[in-house]
Structure 1
Amino acid sequence: MWRFLILIVVTTTLVFSPGTDAADKKKKRDTLYSNIYRDIDDMGYCVRLTNADQSIGCATGPNGDTGTVYLIESQRDIDWVLSEGSMPPYVPLINQKQFYNRTFMMLLKDGAAAGRISGIIADFLTSTNDYQQDNGESPARQCPNQGFGGIGSTCNPTWNPKGSSLAFDHFDFPIFGLRDPEQLGALKNCSILFNQKNSSFERSYPACQVRMRAFMSASVNTPTCMRKNSHVILSSSGFCDPLVNPSFWGSLFSPTKINKSEAVVMATAKMDASAFFHQLSFGANNNAAGIVALLGALEALGKLKRDHKISENSISKPILFVFFNGEEWDYIGSSRMVYNLLKNCQKDSQKGCEVGDGEVPISRFLGLNRIESFLELSQIGLPGEGGTLFGHKPSNANATKLFNTLTSYSSAISPAPDGQQLPPSSLLQFLDELNVIGGVVLADHSGSYKNRFYGGAFDDAHNLHLNADQTTSSHLADVSTTVAKTLLNLAGANDSVIDMVKANETTISTLLHCFLQEMNCTLFKNLSTSDDADKLKNRAGPRYISVDASTPNAVTLIRKLAIYYSGIEATGTKQDDCTNGPVSESKSGKSNYLKTMVWNRGAGFCRYGYVYKTEAKSPAFLLKEYGSSKYSTWAESRWDVDPTLSFYVASSDYIENVTLGVGVMMFVLSFFGTWYGMRRMNSRSGEYTVQ
C-alpha cells in the first residue's frame, strides 16, 4: 500500500510541480500568467453609485466577464457585433464620439440585454484634438442637481444643453476607458490581427478576448444598500459607503476674530469635479478655473499680510474662504456646512453632529446669520470678448452691494438677465435657509453653460486653451485681483491698501499647469511630503469626491496651497514641527489660537495660516434618512478587488478540449508507466535477492 502512495506522490510531482521553493513557484506562476495575459493598468473604470431612488454606473458579474474585443470603425462593424458575428459576446472598442453619443450607447446597451455585448472599452486617446473641435458632448444631466437647492430646483434656462445624462444611466456590464498609447495600441492590434472581419473571409479562432473584473456590491438604491450594510452576516466587507471627503475653509487672520464680528465676507469655489470615469474627472472649467482664481486672490491678500500692509486690526470684518467638496453630487459640502451652522455643531458629542479628529467646523466661530457677503467663483474659464463674466444674484440689498463692489473694480463683469434663476451653485443651499445673504455667483455664462464638456473627461487643459497662449492665465489673474479687492473693500480696508492689490499672473499660470497638465510639477512636489510627491503623476489629477478612505492628491494640495498663499513664515519652525495641524498655541491665556502649517521642501521654510478641514458628508447619513429629498443620498459601491482589465488570445472550445484530453492522457500514461517500471524493478530485485 505504501508503495502505491509513493507512486501517486512521485507521479503528481513530476507532472505538476511548478518549482522547488515558494519564490520559484511564484516566479513560474507569474511567468505563466504573463505568457497568457496582458494587463491594462492605465485606465478609467465605471463604478456603481446609488441614491435614494436609483443605482447608476456599471458592474461585472461576481466572477468577472469575458468577451471578444472588436474595433468599431464603421456601420458594418456595429452590425457585426450586434447580430452577425459568430463569436459573441463581444466587447466593442469604440472612440470618444461613439462613446458620448447616447443613442449609440443605448444601442449597445440593448445588445448587452440580448447577450451580444459583455462590456465596452472606449478609446480616450486617439483624435482627442479632433473631438475637442467638434460641438462637444456632456455625459452630465441637462439640469445638474435638479431638485436640490430650493429656488434653483427647477431648470430655467436649461443650464447644460449638451447634457446626455449618460453618467447617470445604469449598465449591467463593465465599461472601461483607455488612454495609454502603448496599451491601447496593443489591444487594437490584437483585435485587428485575430478578430476583425475580412472582406474575403470571416475570422475564426484563435480570437483576441478581454477579461474584465469590476464587481460592485451595491444594488437597487441607497436605502437598500445601507440597510444591507447593517447586516454583517450578509457580507463582512459591507456593500456601500456615503460619498465623503473634506471641504476646506479658512480665515485670512485668526478665527478668534470672527467671534467679535457682526458680519463676515466670504469667497468660495467648488472643489470637486465629475466625469463618467472618475479617474478622468479633471474639471478644467468646472471648476479648476474657479479654484485657481480663488487661490490667486489668497496669494494677493497673503502678500499684503507678509508685507505688513494689513492686519486683523486694519479690517472691520473677517475675510473667509471656502473650498466645497461633493457639490457635483447634490451639494454635499455646502449642505453639510449649512447644517452645521444651523445646528451650531462644535463637537462630536452634540446630538445630530459629527466632528472627526482634526476637524474644525466653521460653526465653532459663527452662525449662518453672520454671513453678509458670499462670492462664489463658478465656471469662469471661458469668458466672452474682453474677458466678460456675468454676476448671478438674488434680489436683496446685500447682493446688490456685493455686485456693485465687484463691478467697481472690473468693467468686464455684467449682470445676468433680470428674473433668471440662479445657476446650480453652493449659494443656493445658504439662500434656502437665509434669503438675505448677499450672494453673487460669478460665471462665464449669462444663461446656458458655455462649457461644451461639462461633467466630462474633455473638460481639460484643451478646453481652456492652455496649450495655445497665456490668455486664460491673464484673464484669471484679473479675476483674482478683482476678488481680492472686493473682499478687502467689503471688509473695510483702506483704499490705499486696496490699490496695492495685483494678482501674480505667473502664479496663476503655474497653478493651471500643475492642476491640469502635470501634477508632479515643482510647486506641488515642494508642498508635498516625499512619499506623497512620489505619487504625483505627470498629468492632470482627478478631483472626484470619492469616499473617506481615499482623498485625491489634487484635493489635499488645495488645502496646502491655501495655507501657503494666505499664510506667513513661521520663523524658526523645523520641518518635523511644521504640520497641517491644527496646532493650538497659547495666546493671552487662551489655547484656541489655531494654526495650520505647510512646509516648502524646495525653499526649506514653514508657513502658517488658518485653513481647516470640515467633513463633506451629507446630513442624510448623520440623520440616517437615506431616502431624503432635502439632502444628498449618494453612496458608492464597495468592491473586494480593484477593477482589472486584461486581454489574451483564446483558442476554440475544440482546441481547448483536445489540449485537456492530451494532458489527461499524458497523466494516465505517466502514471501507468511509472507503476509498470516500479513493478519490473521489484520483480528483478526479488530475483537477485534469492541468489
Structure 2
Amino acid sequence: MMFKVFLSVLLALSAAERLNQSIYRSFSNIKACFRRLNGTNEFGCTSDFSGNVGVLQYIDSQDVSSIQNKDHAPYVVLLSPEVFSGSMLEKLKDSGNVNGVILPGIKEGKWKNKIPSAQSDDVPCPNQGSSIYPDSADQCGSTSSPWNPAGENILWRNWDFPIFLINDGNTTQDLFDCYEEFNSGTEPNWPLCSVELKSPMYAAKDSETCFRRSNIVVTLTPQDYCEPLSDYNLYYFQSPRNRTKADGSKIAQKDKSVVVIMARLDALNIFDKEENGFDSPSTGIVTLIATAEAIKKSLVNSYKPGHENILFLLVHGESLDYLGSNRLVYDMMKDDFPAKLAKDIEEDASTTSRILSNGTQPLFNLDHIKYIIELGQLANTKSSTLYYHAHNLIPDLENIIASLRRSSVDVKASSRSVLPPSSAQSFLKEKSDIPVMVLTNFDEQFANLYYHSIYDTALVHNYNYSKGEAQPIVSHLTGVATALASALADHVITTGTPPQADRKSVNAMLECYTQTKNCSLYRLVGTPNGFPYIGNLDEGPHPQYISVHSSYHTEMTKQILQYFTGDLDQDRNCTDPEERIVLKDHCQEVCLEKNREQQIYSYQFMVGSQDCFNSTGAICGNCYKTSVGKKMARSPAFEDDIWKTYDWASGQYPTWTESYWKSISGRMFLQPSPSSQHSTFAIGIIVSLLSFPITYWLQKKSQIIFENAGTDISSTTSANPAPVAL
C-alpha cells in the first residue's frame, strides 16, 4: 500500500515537472546587474523576491513609444546592444511601464559584434569624490570636457528593475523569435510572450545599515545582508630587503630612496562576472609586469646614488574610491607594510608561526618614496602617442621623462596641469609633496570610449593572441615596457645588460587577461596539483572585479609576477628530471616550508617549465624564490576597532559593500490576457467555495448514495459456493 502511495506521489511530481517545462523556458548564462552600497547610498539593480514579470518588447532604436501602451504593461525590454546607454535606461525607467531589461551578448548570435559607438557605465568624472582637488572643474579635468566623455552614470544609479546580460546566442535568439511570433505588430493579441526575471538583493539603504544588521546576532542562524569589498594588493621589491646585516646590526629604509612603479588591478561595470577591461586595467598590468621582468633579466648590479630599491605595486579596488591604494597608505602609516614588524618581534618564540628576528624586512612608509610612476590606460588603438601627467615635478622625474623621449616611444606632456583619476592621489592625500608622473594614452580625455564597460574587449582593440607577437598592441606595450625599464636603468639602477621587454611574455599575458583563462601562461604558472585547471575554462578571462573575497585574477597575477621575477631554488633531490616527477609532492613540501620563520622571500611551487607537462597534464614543478607579496585590500572602515564609531558619511575611507543574493534566474512563457487570468482566478474561487457544501452534502448522503452498490457487493459475495474439502 505504501509503495502505491509513494509511486503515486512520484508520478504526480514528475507530471508537475513536465508541465512546468512545457510552460516555461529557462535562461542560461545569465550575468545580472547587482546592488552595491557605500556609506550613504545604494546603487545597482534588484527584483522583487518573487521576480519581475513583463511582456517582452524589443527595442533597437531611440524610439520607446512601443512601451507606452499600458494595456500590455508592464514590459521586459529586449534591448539591442547598439542602443544600450544610460540615457536609454533612463527613458525606460521614466516610462513607469518597464519591469526589467535584457541585453543580448555580442559574442555570438544575432547581435554578434554589434556594439554602441561609445559606452561607459561610469560617470564623466570617475572617483570625483576621492580627488585631491577641491575644485570640481579640476576633479573633472574640465567642466566642458571631462576625463571620461563616454560616461553615462549607469553604475551609480539605483534602478527599479533587474538588468540581465545573456551571452548565450541560442537563448537570445529564442527570445527574439518569441517576440516576433506573438508580440510584434502594432496591436498584438493575447496570449503574449512574457518573461520573468528574478534577482532579489538582501541589502538595502547603505553600507552602514546593512553591515550593522549583518553583525546583529538574534538567531542561531544569523542572516548576512552585505559584505565589504576586499581582495589583495600585490607588491614586488626589485631587491630583497633584510633589516638585519651580516654582523647582526639592524638597518632601516632611508627616506626618499625607493622608486614606486604602480598600476591598478581592477575593472568595473554593472554585470556580475563580466568585469574585464582591455585598456583599463589590462594594458597597465601587462606593461608593469613586463617592465619588472626586463629589469630582472638585465641583472641589476647596484643602485645609483640616492636610490636603494624599486617597488612595483598592483593595487585593487581603485575603481571604487581608490580602495586598494587607500588601504595601502593606511598600512604604511600604521607601520604595517610590508608587515607589522612590532608584532613579529614580540611573537612568542614557542609558537610555530613565529618570524625570526633576522628574517624580517624594514618598515616602509610614505617618507621612503622618492617618486611615483603610475601606468594607466596604454592601448594604441587610436594613437601610439603617450602623455605624462605630472605633479610636483622634480629633476629626477625630468630625467626619466627625458630618457623616455629618447626611446622609440612618442611621449608628450599633458596639456592639463592636474592629474587624471589615478591611484597616486591616495598617496598625495596624506603626503602632498610626493612627485608623481602618470603615463597614459590620452591627453585631456580618455582615448578609450569603453572605459568601465563590457565592451572594453580584445575585439574592440583589435587584439587576438593567434595573430602572434608582431601585432601592433603587442609591439606597442613591449616598447613602452622597454622604454621605462631603460629609463630606470639610466637613472636608478646599474645593469649588466640593457633592459629589453619580451614580446612573447606580453602576448601571453594579454591572452590570459583579455581573451581566455584557458591560456598557456596560466598553465605554466599554476601548481602541478591542479590549479588553475578548475572551474569552467570556456568563458573568457577571469573577472577583474574586487569582490568580497580573493579572486583567481589576483592569485594568477601574483603567480605570473613571481614567475617572471623569481629565481629557481630547487632542493638538490628535485633537480633530477626523473626524480622530481616521483618526488613531486615532497619537492612542493620542501619548497613551501622555506616560507616559515621569515618574511624576506616568498617561495612558490609552480609548474614553471614545459618539460613538466605530458599528455595527461602537469607531472612535476619548480620552486621559485621571489620578493613578491600581498597585502589586504579592504577598507579600514570595516576594521573591528573602527567601524562601530566610524562616521560613514565622512569620506575618510571607502565604504563599499556588495549585497548578498540567493539566486538569479530568468524564464519566458506565454501569458494570457488579464481578463482571462481574472476569469480563471474567479472560476477557481467559485469552485473552491462550492466544494465545501458539495463535500458536506456528499458526506451526509453517502449511505443513501452508495447503499445499492454496497448491497450488490455483499450479495455477490454470499452467492459464492462454499469450499469443498478434498
TM-score range, shorter chain: 0.7 to 0.9
1:638 aligns with 2:657: no
Q: Which residue of 2 aligns with 1:109?
A: 93
1:441 maps to a residue whose letter is V
- Change in Cα spacing, 1:593 to 1:93, as seen in structure 2 (3 Å) is same
- Aligned-pair distance for 1:338? 0.3
Q: Which residue of 2 aligns with 1:18?
A: 10
- Change in Cα spacing, 1:236 to 1:45, as seen in structure 2 (3 Å) is same
Q: Is the 8 A contact 1:341 1:363 kept in 2?
A: no
Q: Which residue of 2 aligns with 1:204?
A: 190
Q: Find the aligned partners of 2:503 and 2:149 in 1 and give their Cα distance.
A: 33
- Aligned-pair distance for 1:453? 0.9
Q: Find the aligned partners of 2:695 and 2:490 in 1 and give their Cα distance.
A: 91
- Change in Cα spacing, 1:621 to 1:411, as seen in structure 2 (3 Å) is same
- Change in Cα spacing, 1:374 to 1:60, as seen in structure 2 (3 Å) is same
- Aligned-pair distance for 1:565? 0.8
Q: Which residue of 1 aligns with 2:206?
A: 221
- Change in Cα spacing, 1:591 to 1:226, as seen in structure 2 (3 Å) is closer
- Aligned-pair distance for 1:479? 1.0
- Change in Cα spacing, 1:19 to 1:342, as seen in structure 2 (3 Å) is same
- More helix per residue: 1 or 2? 1
Q: Find the aligned partners of 2:591 and 2:100 in 1 and give their Cα distance.
A: 46
2:37 maps to a residue whose letter is T
Q: Find the aligned partners of 2:72 and 2:6 in 1 and give their Cα distance.
A: 38
Q: Is the 8 A contact 1:177 1:277 kept in 2?
A: yes
Q: Which residue of 2 aligns with 1:354?
A: none
Per-residue Cα deviation, 1:376-409 (whole angstroms, up to 9, x for no partner): 1101113765x22111121242543443444454
Q: Is the 8 A contact 2:264 2:285 kept in 1?
A: yes
Q: Which residue of 1 aligns with 2:52?
A: 65
2:227 to 238, 241, 252: 241
Q: Is the 8 A contact 1:580 1:598 kept in 2?
A: no
Report how many aligned residue pairs link the two structures.
Answer: 643
Q: Is the 8 A contact 1:141 1:165 kept in 2?
A: yes
Paired residue secondary structure (2:460): helix
Matches within 5 A, 1:438-517: 438-467=435-464, 470-494=471-495, 496-497=496-497, 499=498, 501-517=499-515
Q: Find the aligned partners of 2:534 and 2:23 in 1 and give their Cα distance.
A: 31
Per-residue Cα deviation, 1:186-213 (whole angstroms, up to 9, x for no partner): 11111211222x25x52211x2221111
CA RMSD across the alignment: 3.7
1:394 aligns with 2:386: no
- Change in Cα spacing, 1:377 to 1:193, as seen in structure 2 (3 Å) is same
1:683 to 698, 701, 711: 711
Q: Which residue of 1 aligns with 2:371?
A: 373
Q: Is the 8 A contact 1:383 1:444 kept in 2?
A: no
Paired residue secondary structure (1:215): coil
Paired residue secondary structure (2:444): coil
Q: Find the aligned partners of 2:140 and 2:58 in 1 and give their Cα distance.
A: 39
| Structure whose alpha-carbon radius of gyration is higher | 2
What is the TM-score of this pair, normalised by structure 1?
0.83
2:132 maps to a residue whose letter is G
Paired residue secondary structure (1:131): coil
Per-residue Cα deviation, 1:328-372 (whole angstroms, up to 9, x for no partner): 00000001000000011244997xxxxxx99x9x99631221111
Q: Which residue of 2 aligns with 1:533?
A: 533
Please identify, of 656-665 and 408-417, the stretch whose mean Cα deviation from structure 2 is larger: 656-665
1:255 to 237, 241, 256: 241
- Change in Cα spacing, 1:342 to 1:425, as seen in structure 2 (3 Å) is same
1:614 aligns with 2:606: no
Q: Find the aligned partners of 1:42 and 1:690 in 2 and give their Cα distance.
A: 69
1:459 maps to a residue whose letter is D
- Change in Cα spacing, 1:377 to 1:313, as seen in structure 2 (3 Å) is closer
Q: Is the 8 A contact 1:11 1:670 kept in 2?
A: no
- Aligned-pair distance for 1:91? 0.3
- Aligned-pair distance for 1:581? 9.1
Q: Find the aligned partners of 1:580 and 1:684 in 2 and give their Cα distance.
A: 89
2:279 maps to a residue whose letter is N
Q: Which residue of 1 aligns with 2:432?
A: 435
Structure 2 gaps of 5+ residues are 245-250, 344-351, 575-582, 613-620, 720-726
Per-residue Cα deviation, 1:571-609 (whole angstroms, up to 9, x for no partner): 2456545489975458xxx73443231412754232332
- Aligned-pair distance for 1:620? 2.0
2:570 maps to a residue whose letter is T
Paired residue secondary structure (2:11): coil
1:414 aligns with 2:412: yes
Q: Find the aligned partners of 1:348 and 1:46 in 2 and give their Cα distance.
A: 42
1:280 maps to a residue whose letter is E
Q: Is the 8 A contact 1:297 1:480 kept in 2?
A: yes
Q: Which residue of 2 aligns with 1:570?
A: 569
Q: Find the aligned partners of 1:473 and 1:652 in 2 and give their Cα distance.
A: 57
- Aligned-pair distance for 1:178? 1.8
- Aligned-pair distance for 1:224? 2.2
Q: Which residue of 1 aligns with 2:27?
A: 40
Q: Which residue of 2 aligns with 1:148?
A: 130
Q: Is the 8 A contact 2:193 2:668 kept in 1?
A: yes
Paired residue secondary structure (1:237): coil
Q: Find the aligned partners of 1:490 and 1:313 in 2 and give their Cα distance.
A: 9
- Change in Cα spacing, 1:225 to 1:662, as seen in structure 2 (3 Å) is closer
Q: Is the 8 A contact 2:373 2:439 kept in 1?
A: yes
Q: Find the aligned partners of 2:439 and 2:590 in 1 and give their Cα distance.
A: 30
- Aligned-pair distance for 1:314? 10
Q: Is the 8 A contact 1:517 1:538 kept in 2?
A: no
1:344 aligns with 2:335: yes
Q: Find the aligned partners of 1:579 and 1:388 in 2 and give their Cα distance.
A: 48
Q: Is the 8 A contact 1:93 1:122 kept in 2?
A: yes
Paired residue secondary structure (2:262): strand
- Change in Cα spacing, 1:52 to 1:286, as seen in structure 2 (3 Å) is same
Per-residue Cα deviation, 1:152-210 (whole angstroms, up to 9, x for no partner): 872223211221112211112111112221111111111211222x25x52211x2221
Q: Is the 8 A contact 1:402 1:440 kept in 2?
A: no
What is the TM-score of this pair, normalised by structure 2?
0.80
Q: Is the 8 A contact 2:252 2:362 kept in 1?
A: no
1:599 aligns with 2:599: no
1:216 maps to a residue whose letter is M
Q: Which residue of 2 aligns with 1:121?
A: 102
Q: Find the aligned partners of 1:231 and 1:363 in 2 and give their Cα distance.
A: 40
Please identify, of 316-325 and 599-608, the stretch whose mean Cα deviation from structure 2 is larger: 599-608
- Change in Cα spacing, 1:410 to 1:75, as seen in structure 2 (3 Å) is closer
Q: Is the 8 A contact 1:65 1:211 kept in 2?
A: yes
Q: Find the aligned partners of 2:335 and 2:209 in 1 and give their Cα distance.
A: 31
Q: Find the aligned partners of 1:538 and 1:44 in 2 and give their Cα distance.
A: 12
- Aligned-pair distance for 1:464? 2.0
- Change in Cα spacing, 1:459 to 1:579, as seen in structure 2 (3 Å) is farther
Q: Find the aligned partners of 1:10 and 1:654 in 2 and give their Cα distance.
A: 43
Q: Find the aligned partners of 1:505 and 1:682 in 2 and give their Cα distance.
A: 94
2:152 maps to a residue whose letter is S
- Change in Cα spacing, 1:384 to 1:120, as seen in structure 2 (3 Å) is closer
Q: Find the aligned partners of 1:348 and 1:215 in 2 and give their Cα distance.
A: 45
- Change in Cα spacing, 1:341 to 1:474, as seen in structure 2 (3 Å) is same
1:455 maps to a residue whose letter is H
Q: Is the 8 A contact 1:400 1:438 kept in 2?
A: no
Q: Which residue of 2 aligns with 1:91?
A: 76
Q: Is the 8 A contact 2:277 2:453 kept in 1?
A: yes
Q: Which residue of 1 aligns with 2:247?
A: none
2:214 maps to a residue whose letter is N
Per-residue Cα deviation, 1:203-230 (whole angstroms, up to 9, x for no partner): 211x222111111122222222223223
Please identify, of 483-492 and 154-163, the stretch whose mean Cα deviation from structure 2 is larger: 483-492
2:562 maps to a residue whose letter is I
Q: Percent identity among equivalent residues?
A: 24
